[in-house]
Amino acid sequence: MKRMKIDEIWAGLENEETFFKGLLLRRYSGAVIPDVFIALSSPEKYRSIAASISSSVTLNLSAFSNLQDISIELLPDEKRGNKNILVFKLLNNQHRDIFSVLCEDLFASISTVTNEQQLVGELINRFEKWKSLFDSVGAQGLSSEEQRGLFGELYFLRKFLRNSSEFKNIISSWVGPERQIRDFQYGNWAVEVKTTSGNNHQTVTITSERQLDTSHVSNLFLYHMSLEVQQHSGETLNQIIYSVIELLDSDFVSINRFKAKLLEGGYYELQGPLYADIGYRIRQELFYEVERAFPRIEEGDLLSGVSDVCYTITLSNCSEYIRTEEEIFQTLTFL
């Protein structure tokens, strides 16, 4: 994969021969409005990022003590007495690729923030997410069901990218890795992706009374893929990820947003070998428009006290709701 700009800045800081102790700071980009920096903490040479904030802003960081992979600390700004520097350090160098992706995505998301309190809130919220991500890196990878689910979402995402040039909005609409109700949502439309394999390939499981609820969206679609899972054949999870990155080749911000979402979804590049032998072939794929009498349970259907509903739908009974791919992508706009 391509070397990222942030890695190049860190490499330059690491080669500074006249700097021995303390925190070395470099601006990430002049296009980023708030005072945030790429940083190197020496003599350990911990890769870090930092933000300059007013000393009047109070922060309680006690909940983040004794972390193994990353740390957060608040230091006085030696050059400006009315400022502190909030520093995020990578303590485990094995995770530098993950840290690079997360930092690139962070800088893109805060580039226009002018309110200091909002900036600090965003930084702390991101650190909370990062801590959870680093805690899960040592796990044994995605389960078979999670792999199939991610493949299905990526298969739809690739179709979407091939049908529209609005790459940033398309990547933003992919909210499955964030554990949202549906896998894709933007404005007044949403798409739920379901993948099945094996004998019951025409039955899908709906995991919430809100998943197919059309109360708050004008257009809701169900995209179903029936997969054949094969050893050493078909398209692998790794291959479809690389193909999406190739489609995004000229859009640096979208590539980093995509990689960050993969991390949120539990896919780590260092675990790629776990997914190298399992491939998928598409047996069938169909789009359904969820409207009118489409078989489903909505939140308003439930009696008081009933929640967390899970049910199945037999798609062979839903043929009247089938829509063409062209009809779907004409509806999924970003106006």
pLDDT higher than threshold 60 for residue 1: no
Q: Is the pLDDT of residue 3 over 60?
A: no
Residue 50, pLDDT score: 95
Whether 293 and 271 map to the same domain: the answer is: yes
> Does residue 199 register a pLDDT over 60?
yes
Give the domain range for residue 326: 144-331
Looking at the structure, do residues 166 and 131 belong to the same domain, yes or no?
A: no
Domain boundary among 113, 136, 159: 136
Give the number of residues written for the chain.
Answer: 335
Q: Give the whole-angstrom CA distance, residue 164 versus residue 171.
A: 11
Tell me how far apart the alpha carbons of residues 251 and 245 are, in angstroms, rounded to a whole number. 9
> CA–CA separation, 263 vs 65, rounded Å?
23
Number of domains in the chain: 2
User: Tokens representing 199?
Assistant: 């004998």
Give 208-234 pLDDT, tens digit per residue: 999 999 998 999 999 999 999 999 999
Instruction: State which H helix or E strand residue 37 sits in.
Output: strand 36-42
Give the position of tokens 């003590």: 65
- Same domain? 207 vs 263: yes
Cβ distance 312 to 202 under 8 Å?
no
Q: Are 105 and 248 members of one domain? A: no
Nearest 5 degrees, angle CA 144-CA 149-CA 153?
Answer: 150
Q: Are 32 and 155 contained in the same domain? A: no
* Tokens found for residue 202: 């025409």
List phi, psi (to 5°) of 128. -60, -45
Q: What Å distances lie between residue 107 and 34, 70, 172, 275, CA to CA?
A: 10, 18, 15, 30
Same domain for 151 and 131: no
Share of the chain above pLDDT 70, in %: 98
Q: Are residues 96 and 206 in the same domain?
A: no
* Mean pLDDT score, 115-134: 89
Are 114 and 151 members of one domain?
Answer: no
pLDDT digits (tens, 9 = 90+) for 16-64: 888 778 899 999 888 888 999 999 998 999 999 999 999 888 888 877 7
Residues 202 and 233 in one domain: yes
Q: What is the per-residue pLDDT for 326?
A: 96
Last residue of a domain, one of 119, 136, 153: 136
User: Based on the domain organization, do 86 and 120 belong to the same domain?
Assistant: yes
Q: Are residues 103 and 185 in the same domain?
A: no
Say if residue 131 is in the same domain as residue 234.
Answer: no
